[in-house]
DNA sequence: TAGATTGTTAATCGATTAACAATC
DNA sequence: TAGATTGTTAATCGATTAACAATC
């Protein structure tokens, strides 16, 4: 459901940009490949009143969905680890839509400290504590090596961080009350590969989760993953 | 279901590393917060036979799941756009698990051509065509500016690319037979923020999709998103 | 044997679709 | 009015859980 709401929002945004002022359940349903009554139900549940014969006013749709999806809130975050991935995130344009502002970027490497990346000055880790105390930031973005992730997390949680967006390939343990989101790029990739495989196996059928699918494309070559699994099972 | 299979795989891997040789439905179910009969059903559907009294042999679990999830295949890909994000992906360790190998990295910027990033030499875009012709790569990773994404996609599809992993903030149109996966970092973020909000609203209840959730944390500050929506709706 | 665990069937639940009356 | 579209109720479908017999 949340996914659908997010999609409605995207579609509504584009419709608004294209000059429309309302949108009806039919087109929305068609775009999401669901029944139009489901769209109406979603709208009703979201508290967006429609107008018979015309549809749903885009202003209302956008307003409510942004409220519901939390896009109307402002969230400050700090970023730790200014390697390539950290830099990519600092420069990522899409966040402002979601009200995210990275208020400070840190790195332990003094070679990086002082550098400016996408308008952010890299600060030394020593400054992190005082920044957190002063600004009461609740979200931390971790783009550090895997080994550093858990100890850093413990420390951050102790300093008041309540949401962690973890890009390190490490599973984090946190106390109750703290939300961790583990961003595993490899999973996105796995899904794409699977989508390709699906398209091959079954032809243009089924919508693999997030992906735009269809016909052709051959599968990849085999590897001997079995040997690896066996090694792991024995070690 | 696919998500659960992937989780079983992860858990099985760790169990194997910890020296176990089998795993039973109970612990798996507890870790995923589902009923144990569902785990057994999944195993049955996946064609993994269990042993009464002992559980499922890890070697078998890993072997079948890797087969099913396509982790046992080898997939070559090219990467286009060697900015920060491209560089981060070139250096990302986790891909080998999924059999992905980035065989070539390209950039139009001659300042980047010739540089070595995480063991990959950056090639000029002009070389892309011949590389594709020679190696028959099917997957392309796009870490280019939004404006470049669609024309590049069209060109790549014409050269035989069948799977596109798009990091550019642009919606791509592709012909049937081509799979696009749009990786929107902002969505991961949105979910984290939402997880935080949920934790606030409802206390430690419900597992928000991917995230490890729980108790405390206050919501963010309001912004006037309404004004923005209204602008969009009018423009 | 007793205990643990699988495999499977029936029951439940929630989400989606189908149908249609209300109404602008 | 006629047509389009919402809002809602009933029917369907699929996924999950509960229960339990089989069995190592």
DSSP string for residues in B187-208: HHHHHHHHHHHHHHHHSS-S--
Neighbours of B217 (CB within 10 A): 21
Element containing residue A136 per DSSP (H, E): none
How far B57 CA lies from chain A's nearest CA (Å)?
Answer: 9
Burial class for B126, CB neighbours closer than 10 Å (0-12, 13-18, 19+): exposed
- The arithmetic mean of pLDDT across residues A19-28, rounded, is 94
pLDDT tens by residue, B155-185: 999 999 999 999 988 888 899 889 998 887 8
Distance B226 CA to D13 C1' (A): 39
Q: Where does the pLDDT of residue A193 fall: very low under 50, low under 70, confident under 90, or very high at 90 and above? A: confident
Confidence tier at A206 by pLDDT (50, 70, 90): very low
Q: Which of B208, B198, B202, B180 is nearest to A3 (CA)?
A: B208
Nucleotides of D under 7 A from a protein CB: 3-9, 15-20, 22-24
Mean pLDDT, rounded, for A1-5 = 87
pLDDT at res. A151: 96
Residue A226: HSE in the Cβ half-sphere, 13 Å Cα cutoff? 6
Q: What pLDDT does residue A220 have?
A: 38
Calculate the CA B210 to chain-centre distance. Answer: 13
Measured CA to C1', the nucleotide nearest B23 is: C5
Answer yes or no: do B229 and A99 touch at CB < 8 A.
no
Closest CB from A210, A226, A232 relative to B181: A210
Please give the average per-residue pLDDT across B41-67, as a whole number. 94
Per the CB < 8 A criterion, the answer to whether B226 and A65 are in contact is no
pLDDT band at A127 (very low <50, low <70, confident <90, very high): very high
**Window 206-235 of chain B: CB closer than 7 A to strand C:** none
Cβ distance B230 to A59 less than 8 Å, yes or no, reads: yes
**What is the rounded distance in angstroms from the CA atom of residue A56 to the CA atom of residue A67?**
16
Query: A64: Cβ under 7 Å from strand D?
Result: no
Q: Is the pLDDT of residue A100 over 70?
A: yes
Give me the CA B52–C1' C4 separation in Å, rounded: 8
Residue A110 has pLDDT above 80, yes or no: yes
The answer to whether A98 contacts B219, with C-beta atoms less than 8 Å apart, is no
Contacts of A72 in chain B (CB under 8 A): 222-226
Q: For residue B189, which of A83, A77, A169 has the smallest C-alpha distance?
A: A77
pLDDT of residue B129: 95
Does the nearest atom of strand D lie within 7 Å of A42's Cβ?
no
Q: Is the CB of B91 under 7 A from strand C?
A: no
Alpha carbon separation from A20 to A32, A54, B52, B99, B233 (Å, rounded): 19, 11, 62, 45, 7
What's the whole-number average pLDDT of chain A?
A: 83
pLDDT for residue A234 is more than 50: no
Beta carbons within 8 Å of A106's beta carbon, 6+ residues apart = A78, A79, A80, A81, A82, A122, A123, A124, A125, A127, A128
- Supply the DSSP string of A67-132, one letter for each residue: HHTTTTEEEEEEEE--SHHHHHHHT-GGGGGGTEEEEEEEES-TTTTT-EETTEEEEEGGGHHHHH
CA of A130 to C1' of D9 (A): 58
- Of A31-40, A95-104, B154-163, B212-221, which range is least confident? B212-221
Distance from CA(B205) to C1'(D16), angstroms, rounded: 19
A66, A9 in Cβ contact below 8 A?
yes
pLDDT recorded at residue A144: 95
Q: What's the pLDDT score for residue A111?
A: 96
Taking the CA of residue A36 and the nearest CA in chain B, the distance in Å comes to 23
Task: Work out the number of other CB atoms within 10 angstroms of the CB of residue A71.
Answer: 22
């Amino acid at each position: 459901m949340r996914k659908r709401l997010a999609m409605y929002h995207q579609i509504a945004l584009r419709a608004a940009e294209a000059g429309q002022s309302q949108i009806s359940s039919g087109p929305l349903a068609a775009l999401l490949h669901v029944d139009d009554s489901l769209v109406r139900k979603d709208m009703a549940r979201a508290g967006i009143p429609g107008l018979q014969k015309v549809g749903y006013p885009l202003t209302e749709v956008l307003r409510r969905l942004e409220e519901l999806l939390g896009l109307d809130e402002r969230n400050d975050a700090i970023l730790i680890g200014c390697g390539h991935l950290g830099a990519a995130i600092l420069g990522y344009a899409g966040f402002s839509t979601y009200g995210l502002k990275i208020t400070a970027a840190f790195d332990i490497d003094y070679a990086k400290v002082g550098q400016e990346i996408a308008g952010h000055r890299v600060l030394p880790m020593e400054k992190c504590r005082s920044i957190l105390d002063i600004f009461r930031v609740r979200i931390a973005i971790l783009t550090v090596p895997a080994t550093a992730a858990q100890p850093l997390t413990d420390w951050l949680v102790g300093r008041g961080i309540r949401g962690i967006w973890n890009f390190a390939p490490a599973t984090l343990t946190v106390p109750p009350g703290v939300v961790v989101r583990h961003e595993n790029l490899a999973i996105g990739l796995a899904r794409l590969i699977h989508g390709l495989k699906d398209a091959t196996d079954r032809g243009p059928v089924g919508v693999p989760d997030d992906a735009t699918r269809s016909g052709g494309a051959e599968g990849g070559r085999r590897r001997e993953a079995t040997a690896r699994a066996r090694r792991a099972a024995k070690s």
